Amino acid sequence: MAWATIDAPKPGGKLRQYRIAFVVGTRPEAIKLSPVAHALAALGEPPHLFVTGQHPGLELSDHRLEGFTATLLDCPGQPDPMLHSELVRGALKRLLPLDPPDLLIVQGDTSSALGGALAARETGVPLAHVEAGLRSHDPNLPWPEEENRVAIDRLADLLFAPTSGNAANLRRDKVAGEVTITGNSGIDVLAELVGPLPLKPQRRWWPRSHFKLLVTCHRRENWGSGLDRLAKAIRVLAEHNIHCEMLLPPNPKVTERMTALLGDAPNVKLIAPLSHFAMIDAMRRADLVLSDSGGIQEEAPALGVPLLVLRDKTERPEGLTSGSMELVGTDPERIVEAVMRLRRDRAALRAMARPCLPFGDGRAAPRIARHCLTFLEDRIEPADSLTA
Ligand SMILES: CC(=O)N[C@H]1[C@@H](OP(=O)(O)OP(=O)(O)OC[C@H]2O[C@@H](n3ccc(=O)[nH]c3=O)[C@H](O)[C@@H]2O)O[C@H](CO)[C@@H](O)[C@@H]1O
């Protein structure tokens, strides 16, 4: 494995170069780990990336990660996410002992993150979890992510909780590792893309000929009948002159189904996956977003974009408390009622569109990077000085 090295003395006069590695499997992991990688690099500790291949089309350069050394694990996502975790775990169990990192960092709740966490534990590599403590308190919603979160948090030495509610979940679970509230690094990325946070309210809802929705739906729980119900709601809304941009996810099964259900619907435009910048722009241009995504629940409040969440439960209740989003599930009547109500009631829509920061202030990554270094200094340097 090629570790990036820096010849100059470390900031603070230290000569020790730590070896920090990340596991990156999916687009949201790349989005949220990019600012952490850059914050570590700014402290003289550029991380090495283990890219699992869970999302085969993932381009590191789309997320400003191309400058970091990387090992490709060649473990594409599997229909059975548990099998995928096993593949990542096996690949890393072979690689980590060859040149062990001082710290392995995983993010979120993907099968890549779980595989990385298990491999770290089994090879004795300390583990940090970015985005720790999220809980829907229902092992099936979302599955397997809720189980993955609980398992990773139990294994981690360092737990970076985005919010105080996430930290409370971790205390309730009596995790053994050290918990720090940092904010979500996904909000740091928004600050890079749209400018300093908090944003000023920008939406006016001047009378327009049509009301515009942006819709994303990719969660496993919504495959099958959930997609049928959502498509039914969108057809009804389109008949009421509500224009809908439906974002097709990379998953071909979901894309084929949505194309079959909505390909010919008037006022509905099906669009291919967008770059993160284009996605944020599309969210800001929509009057209302409908989504089952986790990351979009964090981004919408910060951008001041009203959001209806196409799920029955969320692990991000902070967005509900802030008034930026509502849970509507996938019942067509409930979705249509909520959209029509908000189209009529502009005051309610405007109240949902006040930019707010329940998931972090945009400075999570430097906090996470500093904590990682403090942990390594405390852990490694005393041992080094004993053997010197
Ligand atoms: C159920 C759930 O919440 N699952 C998790 C999932 O992602 P999550 O559900 O957030 O995954 P998505 O695929 O929706 O990715 C969301 C991110 O991708 C961006 N986007 C979306 C569509 C598009 O065409 N282009 C684009 O750039 C969004 O702006 C957002 O930043 O993995 C994340 C990373 O571990 C976790 O934080 C989430 O908890």
pLDDT tens-place string over residues 57-102: 999 999 999 999 999 999 999 999 999 999 999 999 999 999 999 9
Stretch 120-143: mean pLDDT, rounded?
Answer: 97
Q: What percent of the chain has pLDDT over 90?
A: 87
Ligand 1 atom 18, closest CA? 28
| 31 alpha carbon – ligand 1 mean position (Å) | 9
Fold category of 19-194+361-387 in CATH: Rossmann fold (3.40.50)
Tell me which residue has tokens 């940092």.
182
Pocket of ligand 1 (CB under 6 A): 26-29, 31, 107-110, 131, 142, 145, 216, 218-219, 247, 273-274, 276, 279, 293-296, 299
Q: How far apart are CA 69 and CA 5, in angstroms?
A: 10
Indicate whether this complex's ipTM tops 0.90.
yes
| 296 alpha carbon – ligand 1 mean position (Å) | 7
Q: What is the pLDDT of residues 285-337, one digit of tens each?
A: 999 999 999 999 999 999 999 999 999 999 999 999 999 999 999 999 999 99
Residues near 342 by beta carbon (within 8 Å), at least 6 away in sequence? 288, 306, 348, 349, 352
| Cβ neighbourhood burial of 210 (10 Å; 0-12, 13-18, 19+) | middle
Q: Which atom of ligand 1 is nearest to the CA of 131?
A: 37
Q: Tell whether the model's pLDDT for residue 6 goes beyond 90.
A: no
Q: Residue 360: what pLDDT?
A: 97
Q: Tell whether the model's pLDDT for residue 386 goes beyond 70.
A: no
| 121 alpha carbon – ligand 1 mean position (Å) | 26
The DSSP annotation for 196-215 comes to SSSPPP-------S-EEEEE
Q: Residue 9: what pLDDT?
A: 43
| 231 alpha carbon – ligand 1 mean position (Å) | 21
Q: Tell whether the model's pLDDT for residue 384 goes beyond 80.
A: no
Which of the following CATH numbers is that of domain 211-352: 3.40.50.1000, 1.10.268.10, 3.20.20.80, 3.40.50.2000?
A: 3.40.50.2000
The residues of the chain that CATH labels 3.40.50.2000 are 19-194+361-387, 211-352
Q: How far apart are CA 330 and CA 225, in angstroms?
A: 9
Query: Is this prediction's pTM over 0.90?
Result: yes
Ligand 1 atom 1, closest CA? 294
The token pair that represents 204 in the structure block? 């006016």
| 309 alpha carbon – ligand 1 mean position (Å) | 13
| 178 alpha carbon – ligand 1 mean position (Å) | 26
Q: What percent of the chain has pLDDT over 70?
A: 93
Contact 21, 66 (CB under 8 A): no
Ligand 1 atom 16, closest CA? 295
